[in-house]
Amino acid sequence: MTAGPSIVVEAVERRFGPRVALAGVSFTVEPGEIFGLLGPNGSGKTTLFRIVSTLIEATAGRVAVAGHDVATDAQAARRQLGVVFQSPALDVRLTARENLRHHGHLYGFHGKDLEERITASLGALGVAERAGDLVAKLSGGLQRRVEVAKALLPRPRVLVLDEPSSGLDPNARRELWDLLRSLRDTVGTTVVLTTHLMDEAARCDRVAILHHGRLVALGTPDELTRIVGGEVLWVSGADPENLAGGIATRFGVDARLVDGRVRVEHPGGHLLVPQIVEAFPGAIEAVTVSRPTLEDVFVHHTGERFE
Amino acid sequence: MWLAIYTLWLRDLVRFVRQRSRVVGAFATPIVFWALLGSGLGGSFSMGGAERAGGYLHFFFPGTLALIVLFTAIFSTISLIEDRQLGFLQGVLVAPVSRAAIVLGKMLGGTTLALVQAGVFLLLAPVAGITVSAAQLPALLLVLTLLAFALTGLGFVIAWWLDSTQGFHAIMNLLLVPMWVLSGAVFPASGAAPWLRPLMRVNPMTYGVSGLQEILIGQTSGPSFGTAITATLLFGLIMLGAGTVLASRRAQG
């Protein structure tokens, strides 16, 4: 076991023809971390997931999993990886157990050891009693569990998941997160997941925010929201453009027009509310005050709404 | 490596058995084809200089056998497109398995299915006035295996490029069925228009069909048996190589 980073992403670029999906992204994931790749559709997070999971190659740059370069030493990297795709990579005409058995064979396991691993893996996901059912007969949530059980069967050091919560009900999501945390805490599994959900990203140990193929922020959820500072005000009115200008000159704050509303980051945001309302009588329809979320972090760095 | 090949091979077999419509379709289509086309053409068909007792149903039997192998190969590689769409293939591709093993597992799966179906059809041989002696069986098995292996490989290479099963059906009509027609399965090269003959000679399927004809009806207008075996083996190995190269590329997708 090397003590080096679980994943190294170094100046990674990926182009699809003229389209640039990743424009030079770098970060490192340490062992035993739950690391989130947060970004809206088209941010490049799934492309990055596919590069790390060895499905596609980077156009430039380097990715290493547990010290193994995914471009030059893919088989060694694959041996350290468990991959959970957004749509389950299961054969629906086979039973859950058969799916895991084939998967185990691909990783070189067989015989009694394999059967024990299958039982343990399905058990950990609470689907042991459905082992003999055809996957086609299982609900979407159960299929996702079988998929995760399959990825965990070789006991990978690094687990990568693409949008793991999509299609899961709140209960199943909570259980998935309990599992990911217990994997991290008991066996020290590194978890990397992509997500477009703020609350999911907020549960990660560290988050990388991607936007148009670039890394715009990286840190713990706390660090990231602290950068935004204090509180965030959203002011809406009939003429947001004038309003933004007015608020900026009058109060000397950074008031930006985002998605048809005025957005103000301010340490004492709530104290500003009555002043703003009084200063622009009749021009204001609503003001909301909130502690910054990762969504605010995204807006802070990109000037765009997260969607 | 062997475990991976075995497991992918086994999966293809299990899937096949669990899809009853596929079993029926793969058996019934060529038999219907053989009976209808063979009986219909029989009266108006005279083989160029190679007339022999038994008529067209007799002549057409090895060609139908080749068609069964072709159909099975096609249907077993169509599942590759489904596997890609449904995500199963991705799960295999991220496993630490050599790409050649992935291709080989698929090719051997298709080959086995083709052999089983060809075996069932061979039970009809007496109807066509064909008897297969025990001494002929090893040679017959060899030719069938090599042909099935090569055609499944061809199917793999085609299916790898395509993202829809509709696409495969178009290729089947434009390329695979004409290949079969021009393999000597339907009419012998000796009776074909002169401009068709070079096409028939470069058609890799010609060699497997010719081998089958040699064994089953004792006559062929194609190449010698040794050439047939060598060419079909080569065809299969080239497809295996091409499939491995394709499966090793990670640039696309």
The tens digit of pLDDT for each residue in B192-233 reads: 888 888 889 899 999 999 999 999 988 777 788 999 999 999
**Quick check: A91 and B15 CB within 8 A?**
yes
Interface predicted TM-score of the whole assembly (ipTM), two decimals: 0.84
**Which phi and psi angles does B233 have, rounded to 5°?**
-60, -45
pLDDT of residue B49: 43
**Domain A230-291: assigned CATH number:** 3.30.70.260
**Domain A7-224: assigned CATH number:** 3.40.50.300
- Closest to B217 (Cα-Cα) out of B137, B131, B143, B124: B131
In chain A, alpha helices (H): 45-52, 74-80, 96-106, 111-124, 140-152, 170-186, 198-202, 221-228, 240-251, 269-279, 294-302
The tens digit of pLDDT for each residue in A150-165 reads: 999 999 999 999 998 8
Minimal Cβ distance to A56: which of B19, B87, B253 = B253
Q: Measure B247 CA to nearest chain A CA, in Å.
A: 11
**Which phi and psi angles does B179 have, rounded to 5°?**
-60, -40
| A 75-94: CB under 8 A from B | 75-76, 78-79, 81, 83, 85, 87-94
Nearest CA in chain A to B3: A105
Minimal Cβ distance to B18: which of A55, A56, A93 = A93
**Quick check: A57 and B253 CB within 8 A?**
no
pLDDT of residue A94: 93
The tens digit of pLDDT for each residue in B65-93 reads: 999 899 888 888 888 888 888 888 999 99
**Quick check: B11 and A54 CB within 8 A?**
no
The pLDDT of residue A1 is above 60: no
Q: Which two tokens stand for residue A307?
A: 């969607």
Three-class secondary structure of residue B9 per DSSP: helix
The tens digit of pLDDT for each residue in A226-283 reads: 887 778 888 888 888 888 888 888 888 888 888 888 888 888 778 888 888 888 888 8
**Quick check: B14 and A98 CB within 8 A?**
yes
Q: Measure A90 CA to nearest chain B CA, in Å.
A: 5
Residue B164 CB contacts under 8 Å (≥ 6 apart), including other chains? B81
Q: Measure B13 CA to nearest chain A CA, in Å.
A: 11
Maximum pairwise Cα distance, chain A = 77
Residue B218 CB contacts under 8 Å (≥ 6 apart), including other chains? none
Of B172-181, B226-235, B240-249, the least confident: B172-181
Tell me the C-alpha distance between A171 and A105, whole Å: 32
- Residues of B whose CB is below 8 A from A50: 253
- Domain ranges for chain A, please list them: 7-224, 230-291
Tell me the C-alpha distance between B34 and A194, whole Å: 55
Which residue shows structure tokens 């499944």?
B152
Q: Which residue has the higher pLDDT, B3 or A270?
A: B3
Q: What percent of chain A has pLDDT over 90?
A: 57
Instruction: Give the residue-averaged pLDDT of A205-223.
Output: 93
